[in-house]
Structure 1
Amino acid sequence: MTPEPWPLRHLTLRTPRLVLRPDDDEGLLELVAEAERGVHPPEEMPFLVPWTDNIGHQTMQYYWSERAQLAPEKWTVNFLVRLDGRVVGMQGLKGANFGILREVVTGSWVGLRHQRRGIGTEMRAAVLAFAFDHLGAVRARSSAFRENTASMRVSERLGYRPDGTEPIVRRGRATEDVRLLVTSEQFVRPPWTLRVEGVDACRPLLGVAAQ
């Protein structure tokens, strides 16, 4: 049989409300449309890279480049997050030398009209459970500007602890980026069980020995 050329297209994470799957072109078009409707108030900028200042084909190109550069030594899987079959945001999961370090980094966003419904917590809990329980990660990192209270609350709920700070210039002004860390033991697990499909064929792509 011919080997599956892109096993990630079969990877699916399911929570009680959400379905997370690695990005595909049709889904990315939905994602860009959702971003154009708004991700945050215009006077705010919650991201280290101010990508929401210039949404369009550059957004598509960014996700394409992440997909094209994926390798066992350094990878990013951008999960499209769907609620009731519609893309509402993106949950990223990154690993560098994951087979050795067993560490991941998360980043995410949810469309403004879908916020304050617990979606951000649910989708991050999903990728943390996936990383810890299915890939064998031992640590997960994230970060947020100190004034980004929504992101900080999500991290607190899931068991992250502060891991230092870094001064950042954002739109010409100084601010502080708070680094956050959670281990597999500290992770505050949700009351539901993550359902995962298609992970076995993806492990070698992510630097994990096949089971």
Structure 2
Amino acid sequence: MTLLTHWPLAGLRLTTPRLELRLPNLDDLAALASLAAEGVHDPAVQPFTAAWTDVEPEQRARSVLQYHWSRWGEWRPEKWELNLVAVRDGTVVGTQGIGARDFSVRREVGTGSWLGRAYQRQRLGTEMRAAVLHLAFAGLGAQHAVSGAYADNAASLAVSRKLGYREDGIERHVVRSEPAVLHRLRLTAERWQRHQLVPVKVEGLTQCLPCFGLA
């Protein structure tokens, strides 16, 4: 018996021209936590609803570890969240997540991501998102993908629009004790097919299908 026998997600690989996305091992998680400790965004802004970055570096790093471990422990086919590390030339540069509730019925996924500050503005965010969208639509048979970004998060909004998302309304939240407007975005399978900008290769998916609630 190997780890893959009990946890086939460990063998899932998404490859783009510059990145490999995979379930992190402990060394990958340590690298990702260190990346978070170095900073994820300009401290003057807060792009996340849960302000997990507004703490000291060591606490920020530990929260990354605990978040990934909690998602592993709470995984169910009816409610799952797959958080992958993005690796470029052997270096962990960020993380890309994709999740769903009752996916076998709803066929809808949501995504979220962040990159270390040293790796931003290099179009890596587009490749990361394109990779999990390929997994969702081509691999799992999704019909919709949703995302969201605050009005001042121009980079995230630009990635969504580039990949074919359309506006899907707004939500009002409180961020740092101030009102903030979140723009919801939605991508259909049809529009995804017309906006595939990045070639993606998927390995190890067949064994994982029951984990996603698919036969």
| TM-score bracket for the superposition, by shorter chain length | over 0.9
* CA displacement 1:110-144 (0-9 Å, x = unmatched): 11110010000111011001110011001000000
Structure-1 separation of matches of 2:19 and 2:91? 10
Alignment-mate amino acid for residue 136 of structure 1: G
Structure-2 separation of matches of 1:64 and 1:79? 12
**Alignment partner of 1:168 is 2:173:** yes
1:208 match = 214
Point out where structure 1 has 5 or more consecutive residues left out of the alignment: none
TM-score, normalisation: structure 1: 0.95
Q: Output the aligned Cα RMSD.
A: 1.3
Structure that is richer in helix per residue:
2
**Alignment partner of 1:107 is 2:112:** yes
2:45 match = 44
Shift of residue 160 of structure 1?
0.5
1:53 match = 54
Counterparts of 1:31-110 in structure 2, within 5 Å, are 31-54=32-55, 55-110=60-115
Give the number of aligned pairs: 208
1:19 match = 20
Shift of residue 193 of structure 1?
2.5
Query: Aligned match of 1:193 in 193, 199, 202?
Result: 199
* CA displacement 1:35-79 (0-9 Å, x = unmatched): 111110111110111111230322211110011111100000001
Equivalent residues of 2:80, 2:101 under 8 A apart = yes
**Alignment partner of 1:159 is 2:160:** no
Equivalent residues of 1:72, 1:206 under 8 A apart = yes
1:177 match = 182
The SS at the match of 1:185 is helix
